[in-house]
Chain A
């Protein structure tokens, strides 16, 4: 395996077959050996391979089997707000209106949720920082415990204006911003769009958001049309995100073990004690 990695190396080693036969045990006994850094292209190549392999399959992490339409229905994900609260841009995602109650189209929700979970899994696999945001006080604790269980971050309090846009001054120079922001509810406490959506778009951070029938889905990168008010629905979302992120991180550990890459601190705060095997 190490031999194969070296053949693809960028520094263009040349070695003879005879030499490899003579020294089967490793990379540092080649005839044309002396190079200042033989292990680095090897590690970089393998890391690249680890990173690109999941992109080849449509559903590498098999997130589609984590939920079914019946689960969404039982968790009351299809229940929207009343007709008067409806946002113009949510109309394509609605199935219909039953006695002035908007009903969200669960077929579309299935597809959107699958895309969103798949994206989250890939980001977690690559060691990205994920931030959970929700300004609903009813679910603040739930969101925070979910983030803790995945080893990620949550922000369920007042969003200060310059949190993302002025991060270098508020938190010090060279802050690493989140690579994905997940909104369990895209509205703030006064039923306006959460500032974080606009700020994430400004800072070129992709977002995943649960959009209810009174929300604006235009700026959310991967919107998931669904109910964000019922506890059953929000618990379902939290469970699904937690399972995908843990699955992705476990998969990454597995891949690193398979390819014999020393598990470096690609993710400094990956809490091993909270691994969940689902």
Chain B
């Protein structure tokens, strides 16, 4: 069975076609796939492309970067709240992550009329907290809805300073110190 082994010259089809045309391959011996290829050719002829050796051939970017308008909101979210407390579950195709919920709530509030970016962020955070999602700011303890009990913030040193400035006698301060 005759053949042509020049894979860098023309395509498989052109080589076989020319061999049939010149009579080297008899019409009875033509390969099985020849008619099928002729009727349904591929989108691009499988020609061999020489590898480009010079690195400075062309530098333009043909493949565009994919960015969405929601990416700005997402960057704001990730900057403020870090990676988010809930992990992403990629096995489910309809999974909504914390960031996505933030983005949806943000857009909802924006459509209601609020325009200021920083206020929108605050409002979205509060709205999500109302729904039950806890967001932790980067480097800070979790944001709580109501403020802490002021008694817990009292430091012993401040208490003692107050007591001293109030003018109590030394015995009472020593008692306080010991207790």
Answer yes or no: are A and B bound together in one complex.
Answer: yes
B31 touches A204 (CB 8 A): yes
**Per a CB cutoff under 8 Å, which of B11, B43, B93 touches A74?**
B93
Shortest distance from the beta carbon of B73 to any chain A beta carbon, whole Å: 16
Please state if A102 and B63 are interface contacts (CB–CB under 8 Å). yes
Closest CB of chain B to A119's CB: distance in Å? 6
Say if the beta carbon of A19 comes within 8 Å of chain B: no
Task: Report B-chain residues with C-beta under 8 Å of the C-beta of A219.
Answer: 7, 46, 48
A201 in contact with B33 (CB, 8 Å): no
The proximity string for B residues 35-46 relative to A, scoring 1 for CB distances below 8 Å and 0 otherwise, is: 111011011001
A: interface residue count bin: 35 or more
Question: Mask for A165-196, Cβ within 8 A of B = 1, else 0?
Answer: 10000000000000110000000000000000
Asked whether A221 and B42 contact (CB < 8 A) given A98-B66, A179-B32, A203-B3, the answer is: yes
Residues of A within 8 A of B46 (CB): 201, 207, 218-221, 223
Is there an interface contact between A218 and B47, defined as CB atoms closer than 8 Å? yes
Chosen A-B contacts, 12 in total, with CB atoms closer than 8 Å, are A74-B93, A88-B52, A103-B66, A123-B32, A123-B36, A165-B5, A179-B31, A180-B33, A201-B7, A204-B16, A221-B12, A221-B37
- Residues in B lying within 8 Å of A, measured CB to CB: 3-7, 11-12, 15-16, 31-33, 35-37, 39-40, 42-43, 46-49, 52, 62-66, 93
Task: Name 19 extra pairs, CB < 8 A, besides A96-B66, A122-B33, A218-B46.
Answer: A55-B39, A97-B63, A98-B65, A123-B36, A165-B5, A180-B33, A201-B7, A203-B3, A203-B5, A204-B15, A204-B31, A205-B12, A206-B12, A206-B33, A216-B49, A218-B48, A219-B7, A223-B42, A223-B46
